[in-house]
């Protein structure tokens, strides 16, 4: 069935006019010639730049109480009817479904499609939605709008359209590869995250989705960002697949100076896992969307040993914990779910084993800056408590224009993004420190123990006679008790045993470890910040 016409309200064509002079029989005639061009990124950028010169106006909300007070399970009943999906029945590679306003999604976004270069406005109609068992008064549905949209594609089966990307709430979005389930989210931008002054949440106010051709392998989405401090123009090019790839083009226009600008921010959840076991009895060994942050620093061009890889296992601290890693030349960073083995989670409902890692790969030189990791306490898995983002050096000033382009991979095949020369941390396990007595009894020695399994090309390429050593350092708030590495013949690779003692339990302790053979580094750096009182 084709899409009902009620979706479309107006059509606008973007055109450029030229007024050439044409000579005919010695008489100059003025001829008007119209040249039309397709709507594109530059049009959004011009709109964002113009908006930045105006005063900020917060999105308005007219959400009635019947929709504002919905619980998640009730709100989830409101779904776009199959016959009302955009492009349904047109034999295109993508369909669009829409999110209704409700709960904390209390303001509408403006949606358009771009068809053959022409902009068509999408209009909200409650008849396009199925409300399930909800009894929402009809008068409460008047004057509402869309809170976002989702993209469907036959990614898992040629006979079924499944969700592959969604935009809803502030500048949040998510994407999926084949047979994955939603986990980590992306954001257009983060401003002043975790500052005492409070976070500012930029919002995607307007979207333009380009209608694909029947043979298109990608979908293009333009977005207009707005906030008190800045505006932005974005282009997302979605390519679904085994690993779904999203190419992002962004241009920012500063209204005001910003203390902390977070570029390509990722948001995830970490409750507990082997690196930080739970105190509560639970049959699930781990609950997290991601278990670590990986950073690839290309280093200074004059550095003969350029290329440093750092793996930071995540934690659920008792207090807010913020870490910064200075980077000379960012080649990539991401929040990764390094295990996709079901037995590491044992969850039949939430399927944490199918949650994708998200890897950010800058396009062009972003200059110097820091990758910031923010870890927030959470009592359960319903809260996204992990944020990772790029923070450029310096403070953006009012009137500045900035551009950041990058590629995002939503993947369960993380190893192809690792260093081809170094081994990586396969797992981290935390335990009490203990020593084995002459009578074979293991007794605690008051330390904390970490067992770190490392595998990959750095260790696979070892020559006979290699002297594998542990390079371990502990910050001045702790003490290294012992460290050693042994071959892990059970599963391959090597296993590092580490015991540390805190200097002060009320303060976080930083630990850095990697494997080496003489002066040759064999593995990425394992950097763990042991949370205070945790």
Give pLDDT tens digits for 154-191.
999 999 999 999 999 999 999 999 999 999 999 999 99
What whole-number distance in Å separates Cα of residue 503 and Cα of residue 449? 15
Distance of CA 241 to the CA centre of its chain: 17
Q: Which of 54, 59, 60, 13 is nearest to 36 (CA)?
A: 13
DSSP state of 499: E
Q: 3-state SS of 449-484?
A: EEEEEEECHHHHCCCCCCCEEEEEEECCCEEEEEEE
What whole-number distance in Å separates Cα of residue 21 and Cα of residue 34? 14
What whole-number distance in Å separates Cα of residue 286 and Cα of residue 297? 29
Distance of CA 17 to the CA centre of its chain: 41
Query: Residue 25: pLDDT above 60?
Result: no
pLDDT of residue 26: 37
Question: Among 263-267, 413-417, 440-444, whose mean pLDDT is lowest?
Answer: 440-444
Query: Residue 22: pLDDT above 90?
Result: no
Contacts for 328 with CB less than 8 Å, ≥ 6 apart: 297, 298, 299, 300, 303, 368
The helix/strand/coil state of 149 is: strand
Contacts for 312 with CB less than 8 Å, ≥ 6 apart: 292, 293, 294, 295, 323, 325, 373, 527, 528, 529
Dump pLDDT digits (tens) for 357-406: 999 999 999 999 999 999 999 999 999 999 999 999 999 999 999 999 99
Q: Is residue 230 within 8 Å of residue 255, measured between CB atoms? A: yes
Average pLDDT over residues 328-355: 98
The helix/strand/coil state of 226 is: strand
What whole-number distance in Å separates Cα of residue 259 and Cα of residue 261? 7
pLDDT of residue 306: 58
Query: Residue 35: pLDDT above 80?
Result: no
Q: Which of 242, 113, 95 is nearest to 162 (CA)?
A: 95
Distance of CA 466 to the CA centre of its chain: 40
Residue 300: pLDDT band by 50, 70, 90 thresholds?
low
Average pLDDT, the chain: 91
Go through the domains of the chain in sequence order and give each one's CATH number.
Answer: 148-417 (2.70.98.10), 424-530 (2.60.40.10)
Residue 487: pLDDT band by 50, 70, 90 thresholds?
very high
Q: How far is CA 319 from CA 21, 194, 376, 378, 450, in A?
A: 72, 12, 7, 10, 22
Give the side-chain half-sphere CA count within 13 A for 214. Answer: 3
Average pLDDT over residues 88-92: 96
Q: Is residue 363 within 8 Å of residue 407, measured between CB atoms? A: yes
Q: What is the residue-wise DSSP string for 173-210?
A: EEE--TT-----EEESEEESTT-TT--B--EEEEEEEE
Q: Is residue 81 within 8 Å of residue 129, measured between CB atoms? A: yes
DSSP state of 74: H
Query: What end-to-end distance do the CA atoms of the chain give, in Å?
Result: 57
Average pLDDT over residues 31-46: 72
The pTM assigned to this predicted structure is 0.92
Largest distance between two CA atoms of the chain: 114
Q: Which of 290, 265, 289, 529 is nearest to 388 (CA)?
A: 265
Q: Which of 168, 136, 140, 148 is nearest to 62 (CA)?
A: 140
Query: Residue 24: pLDDT above 70?
Result: no
Average pLDDT over residues 323-346: 97
Residues of the chain above pLDDT 90, percent? 84
Query: Residue 19: pLDDT above 90?
Result: no
């Amino acid at each position: 069935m084709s899409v009902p016409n009620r979706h479309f309200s107006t059509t606008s064509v973007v055109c450029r006019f030229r007024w050439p002079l044409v000579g005919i029989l010695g008489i100059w005639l003025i001829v008007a010639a119209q040249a039309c061009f397709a709507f594109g990124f530059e049009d959004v950028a011009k709109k964002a730049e113009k908006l930045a010169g105006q005063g900020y106006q917060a999105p308005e909300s007219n959400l009635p109480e019947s929709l504002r007070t919905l619980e998640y399970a009730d709100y989830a009943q409101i779904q776009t009817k199959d016959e009302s999906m955009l492009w349904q029945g047109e034999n295109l590679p993508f369909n669009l479904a829409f999110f209704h306003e409700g709960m904390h999604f209390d303001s509408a976004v403006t949606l358009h499609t771009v068809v053959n270069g022409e902009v068509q406005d999408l209009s909200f109609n409650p008849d396009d939605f199925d409300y399930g068992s909800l009894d929402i008064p009809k008068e409460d549905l008047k004057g509402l709008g869309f809170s976002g949209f989702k993209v469907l594609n036959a990614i898992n089966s040629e006979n079924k359209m499944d969700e592959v990307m969604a935009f809803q709430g502030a500048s949040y979005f998510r994407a999926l590869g084949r047979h994955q389930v939603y986990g980590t989210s992306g954001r257009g931008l983060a401003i002043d995250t975790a500052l005492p002054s409070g976070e500012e949440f930029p919002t995607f106010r307007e979207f333009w989705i380009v209608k694909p051709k029947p043979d298109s392998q990608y979908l293009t989405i333009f977005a207009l960002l707005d906030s008190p401090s800045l505006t932005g123009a974005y282009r997302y090019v979605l390519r679904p697949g085994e690993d779904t790839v999203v190419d992002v083009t962004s241009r920012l226009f500063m209204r005001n100076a910003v203390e902390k600008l977070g570029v390509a921010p990722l948001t995830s959840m970490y409750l507990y896992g082997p690196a930080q076991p739970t105190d509560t009895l639970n049959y699930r060994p781990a609950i997290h969307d991601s278990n670590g942050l990986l950073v690839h620093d290309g280093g200074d061009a004059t550095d003969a040993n350029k290329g440093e890889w750092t793996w930071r296992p995540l934690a659920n601290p008792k207090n807010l914990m913020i870490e910064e890693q200075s980077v000379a030349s960012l080649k990539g960073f991401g929040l990764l779910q390094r295990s996709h083995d079901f037995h590491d989670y044992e969850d039949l409902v939430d399927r944490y084993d199918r949650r994708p890692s998200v890897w950010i790969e800058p396009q062009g030189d972003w200059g110097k800056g820091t990758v910031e990791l923010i870890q927030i306490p959470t009592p359960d898995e319903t809260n996204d408590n992990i944020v990772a983002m790029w923070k450029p050096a310096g403070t953006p000033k009012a009137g500045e224009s900035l551009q950041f382009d990058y590629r995002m991979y939503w993947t369960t095949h993380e190893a192809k993004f690792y260093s081809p020369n170094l081994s990586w941390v396969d797992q981290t396990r935390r335990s009490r420190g203990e020593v084995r007595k002459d009578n074979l009894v293991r007794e605690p020695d008051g330390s904390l123990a970490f067992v770190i399994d490392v595998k990959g090309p750095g260790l696979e390429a070892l020559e006979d006679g290699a002297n594998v050593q542990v390079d371990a350092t502990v910050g001045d708030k702790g003490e290294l008790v012992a460290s050693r590495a042994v071959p892990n013949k059970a599963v391959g690779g090597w296993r590092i045993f580490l015991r540390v003692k805190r200097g002060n339990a009320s303060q976080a302790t930083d630990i850095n470890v990697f494997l080496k053979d003489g002066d040759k580094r064999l593995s990425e750096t394992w950097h763990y910040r042991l949370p205070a009182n945790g």
